[in-house]
Amino acid sequence: MKTAHMGISSVNATLLLFLASFLAGAGWIFSIHALEGLPPLLFIGSRFFLAGVAVAATTGHLRSLIDRRFFFQILPGALFFALSMICWTQGLAQTTSPGVSAFISSTSNLMVPFLGVMLFGWAFYRSTAIAIALAAIGLACLFLGPGARVEMAHLYFTVAALLLAFGLALVKNRLNSLNAMQTTSGFLFFAGIIILSAAFPVEGLPDQMPGLETWGWFAASLVLCTYVRFILQFAGQQRVSLAKAGLIMSLEPVWVLGLSILVFEERPGLAQAAGCALVMTAILYENRQDRRRSAIGVTG
């Protein structure tokens, strides 16, 4: 497998990212249930470690996981990702409002283009700035829903968003020279090892074996929301602009909100509905501008 994105059109890549964003949203619901029976760091570390091995095994990149050169290429992004997920799980174990928390976490996707400009000199366009501003306002509206309040978990999610943005920028900068499936497997595998190295001394093993229901939520998180989600996300990111991918992935809190209505019977207010509409408007606007830039031979 020379490149993971060969044969994938821009339209199909966009669809892959939409599906990845939905699975990311579903992962919040699955993880909340799994954390009822598993320690946070053990849960997320095992999830990423096993998913990384699975991706490598099914795409023929197991050897990469023991390649020293690849290790040093992927380590910076994996380290930031691991630290981000440590903060994320701590926040998720404490939050009382998944929708608000998803809004805070998704700001990482809005930070990536700015970090790319500062760190790597990526191109940045006025239309992209407008779209990101619209998405940011829309995500902020989700925070203004009924019963919204500041809690300690929000600090964890804020730090997690900043760390994740650094990790995503580093990975995107490497995607030009690394295969997407290879990158995905290494990213998950090494992040899982880093998290597990902190989990065992900090948390230890559970006092009792989790029940079948907990293992079911863990399996769903592992297979659907980690293994499948990250394959789709990295494959899609290679065929669309960074800003467009970030905007599509910013749909994650919208999916979380919708699933929370079904699962936890949350009721969104007018501000939250307006936020969803603004996020969608931003994505459609950026898609239109991205097509125009492609038509005249401009990429970014």
For the chain (length 300 residues), average pLDDT per consecutive 10? 52 90 94 92 94 91 90 88 93 84 80 79 79 86 69 88 86 67 87 94 82 94 92 82 78 87 80 84 78 62
pLDDT at 122: 78
Helix, strand or coil, per DSSP, at residue 202: helix
Backbone angles phi, psi at 26, to 5 degrees: -65, -30
pLDDT at 131: 83
State the Cα–Cα distance between residues 272 and 98, nearest whole angstrom: 13
DSSP 8-state assignment for residue 64 = G
Half-sphere exposure of 243 (CA within 13 A, CB side): 31
The gap from C-alpha 228 to its chain's centroid, in whole angstroms, comes to 12
pLDDT at 5: 44
pLDDT at 3: 41
Residues contacting 48, CB < 8 A, separation 6+: 82, 85, 188, 189, 191, 192, 195, 226
C-alpha to C-alpha distances, 36 to 71, 151, 206, nearest whole angstrom: 34, 20, 12
State the Cα–Cα distance between residues 112 and 233, nearest whole angstrom: 15
State the Cα–Cα distance between residues 117 and 240, nearest whole angstrom: 17
State the Cα–Cα distance between residues 74 and 218, nearest whole angstrom: 26
Residues contacting 72, CB < 8 A, separation 6+: none
Picking from 198, 149, 181, 235, the residue whose alpha carbon sits closest to that of residue 65 is: 181
The tokens describing 136, both together, are 């940011």
Asked whether the beta carbons of 13 and 235 are under 8 A apart, the reply is yes
pLDDT at 298: 55
Q: For residues 190, 196, 201 and 207, what is the CA-based torsion angle, rounded to 10 degrees?
A: -170
pLDDT at 6: 45
Amino acid found at 4: A
Amino acid found at 187: F
Asked whether the beta carbons of 14 and 248 are under 8 A apart, the reply is yes
Half-sphere exposure of 67 (CA within 13 A, CB side): 14
pLDDT at 4: 43
Asked whether the beta carbons of 135 and 247 are under 8 A apart, the reply is yes
Helix ranges, 62-209 (H): 68-92, 98-120, 126-143, 152-174, 180-202
In b/e form, how buried is each residue of 238-262, taking b as 16+ CB within 10 angstroms? bbbbbbbbbbbbbbbbbbbbbbbee
DSSP 8-state assignment for residue 62 = G
Asked whether the beta carbons of 34 and 256 are under 8 A apart, the reply is no
pLDDT at 50: 96
